[in-house]
Amino acid sequence: MRLPDYIDFIIIGSGIAGLGTAVNCSKYGQTLVITKSTLLESNTYFAQGGIAAAIAPGDSPEAHYKDTLVAGADLCESDAVSVLVQNGPKRVQDLIAMGTHFDTTPSGSFDFGREGAHSIARILHARGDATGAELASVLANKAKEIPNIIIAENCLVADLIIQDNRCIGCWVLNDEGQFQAVTAKGTVIAAGGCGQIYKHTTNPWVATGDGIAMAYRAGAEIVHMEFVQFHPTALKNHNNPLFLVSEAVRGDGGKLITEEGKRFMVGVHPMEELAPRDVVARAIYHQQKAGREVFLDATSIKNFSSRFPTIYKACTEVGINPLTDPIPITPAAHFIMGGILADTYGRTNIQSLYVCGESACVGVHGANRLASNSLLEGIVFSERIVECLKDESSLPAVPPLSSHLEKPVVSAPVLEDTVRETMWSYAGLIRTEKDLLKALSKLDEIKMSAPINAYTLHNMLDVAKLIVSGALYRKESRGGHYRLDYPDQDAHWKELMVEHSIGSQPKLVLRTKRDSVLSFNDL
């Protein structure tokens, strides 16, 4: 379909952040949601565990705040975390009002789940372990009902259109294979993360870092890219993506064991299997490096098949009965804590360009995201963005645009796989300077042979390079970033962020929080 040449608001992406923003901003103008696959193909849809919010008796936003900061390893923005946890309960009520059914106990109260690094059971879940599917469906149905929202599926945004540091829209390859410019008063990137640049990931095929890459090329500030979260427990097999085995299984009593049946988290961290994700993922990785297979033993969970129906089905389909057999698991890339630098209204350094959800770095996750805070981030900040987005003024007369883009889009599966292999081998859970340099040179080699119109491949390469260069620069270990050659947290790096901005030359900038620039290096 041919998309409108002009619209009030463009939303790129259709997960909770994108659809949440669309529903909110459609009150103020015509809104176009562009998604490169179908409306439900997003990380949101596949989220299992749930959404964290301080609602349970005995819980409080203060306790949720504290848990989030501890998991974030001294790198969270405290103001942003306050916004997240204070607004969480209200936004959950909005989701319920839209038709979301969270699971309840026989007495009718919410059935709160427990996950890693949470001090209390505070995770709301739906249909057992299908929370993301429930939320994505509710939001998609809501968006489809609103006459002010146009949904464009199977349309690829190739680049943003920037004029005088203002984003005035984007170049889209529509579903008829035609490039067209769509201009708008305000553009929101809600295009999710980039797990698909790694060989092993829980993220669906669409998660190739497109939003972060196009914002970087447009001149947006990108930060904290070295912080990649590896989920400890994906079902181990040869699939891409790997099927997630929710942390909630450990919250309900699942234990990590080796093939000899020995638990190995005891003594590694006081919270054992429910330690922060980075700690658990590395402990599993070390077992694997020592030649041991690792399993999640959930046989003590008597109601497994009703509490975790999606996981039960996925396991039985590959011949594993979780009621009697330990589940073979492996860590897999799951979430990026870094992204496009934004304030708590989603504003970036580019006028009229906003960002929400996993593509953003608002500062709520620091070096390591607390479990089930990502759906919450999407819904809380999608409401705040609209506060500013609604006041975007009309576009100045837009001069005729000519496309610099070449068609047709080609996909380059072999080169894309080489990126995945490179990132897994040299920039994964455990990093060293030697490996990271190897990764950089391999990525440069791939770039040389990448066809100019392989848009996804170029996005993957841009994001991969941001991760590797950030990881090289941060000479310490913290949260999701672990350097074997700098294995400890270094107080010097506390509260600092590595920033990438394209300018004439990519460079890394060290900042204290979001203000004073301390130093920079040209790459």
For binding to ligand SIN (CB under 6 A), which residues are involved?
47-49, 246-248, 371-372, 374
CB contact at 8 A, 455 and 434: no
Whichever of 110 and 354 has its CB closer to ligand SIN, that residue is: 110
Whichever of 113 and 186 has its CB closer to ligand SIN, that residue is: 113
Closest distance to ligand SIN from the beta carbon of 207 (Å): 13
Rounded Cα–Cα distance for residues 11 and 17 (Å): 9
Whichever of 247 and 273 has its CB closer to ligand SIN, that residue is: 247
Residues in a beta bridge with 520: 509
Closest distance to ligand SIN from the beta carbon of 247 (Å): 3
CB contact at 8 A, 18 and 25: no
Question: Exposed (0-12), middle (13-18) or buried (19+): which is 79, by Cβ within 10 Å?
Answer: middle
Whichever of 248 and 315 has its CB closer to ligand SIN, that residue is: 248
Whichever of 129 and 416 has its CB closer to ligand SIN, that residue is: 129
Q: Which residue is nearest to ligand SIN (CB)?
A: 49
Closest distance to ligand SIN from the beta carbon of 371 (Å): 4
Instruction: Say whether 474 is catalytic.
Output: no
Q: Which amino acid makes up residue 248?
A: A
Give SS3 for 46: helix
Give the long-range contacts of residues 161-164, CB within 8 A, separation 24 or more: 161/401, 162/218, 162/219, 162/350, 163/398
Going by DSSP bridges, is the β-strand pair 360-361/339-341 parallel, antiparallel, or unpaired? Answer: parallel
Q: Which two tokens stand for residue 498?
A: 């590595």
Q: How many Cβ atoms from other residues are within 10 Å of residue 383's Cβ?
A: 18
Q: Could you give phi then psi for residue 65, rounded to 5 degrees?
A: -60, -50
Closest distance to ligand SIN from the beta carbon of 51 (Å): 9
Catalytic residue, chosen from 277, 369, 384, 474, is 277
Rounded Cα–Cα distance for residues 300 and 94 (Å): 36
Whichever of 48 and 68 has its CB closer to ligand SIN, that residue is: 48
Closest distance to ligand SIN from the beta carbon of 297 (Å): 17
Closest distance to ligand SIN from the beta carbon of 334 (Å): 6
Buried b (16+ CB within 10 A) or exposed e, 442-459: bbeebbeebeebbbbbbb
Q: How many Cβ atoms from other residues are within 10 Å of residue 502's Cβ?
A: 16
Annotated active-site positions, please? Answer: 277
